[in-house]
Amino acid sequence: MASGQLIQAQAQLEQQLSHPDSPQGELALVGAGPGDAGLLTLRGLQVIQQAEVVLYDSLVSADILELVRRDADRICVGKRAGQHSTLQEEINQLIVKYTQLW
């Protein structure tokens, strides 16, 4: 590659990295197992402590929710028989919304 092309390529790369067209966040699914906070994997714990938004269902225990980052948005999308539940389409829309914000 010629010197001028390398400089131009570096400038384009730097611009794309500093101004992404469509910023996207990450989605992580963390299984809570039987609900005992002591049984979370280390990686699962790291993920919920770093998350800015946590969507959780009604099977997630209060002990596990206590481990979520204090300033994270917590949104219950729980499903239980006989109780109001969030439709899967609404959950999908929330996922898209929040991954586009971060």
Q: CATH number, domain at 37?
A: 3.40.1010.10
In this structure, what is the dihedral angle of CA atoms 56, 26, 44, 62, given to the nearest 10 degrees?
A: -20
- pLDDT, position 13: 66
pLDDT higher than 50, residue 1? no
Q: Is residue 76 part of a domain?
A: yes
- Determine the Cα–Cα distance for residues 91 and 75; give it in Å rounded to an integer: 10
- Determine the Cα–Cα distance for residues 66 and 46; give it in Å rounded to an integer: 13
> For residue 95, what are the contacts with CB-CB under 8 A and spacing of at least 6?
27, 55
Number of structural domains the chain divides into: 1
Active site (annotated) includes residue 79: yes
Return the bridge partners of 76, or none.
56
Tokens 């099977």 -> residue: 59
- Please pick, among 63, 71, 79, 97, the residue that the annotation labels catalytic: 79
Provide the whole-model pTM.
0.70
- Please pick, among 57, 63, 71, 73, the residue that the annotation labels catalytic: 57
User: For residue 59, which amino acid is it?
Assistant: L
What average pLDDT does the structure give for the chain?
83
Active site (annotated) includes residue 36: no
Domain residue limits at 43: 27-101
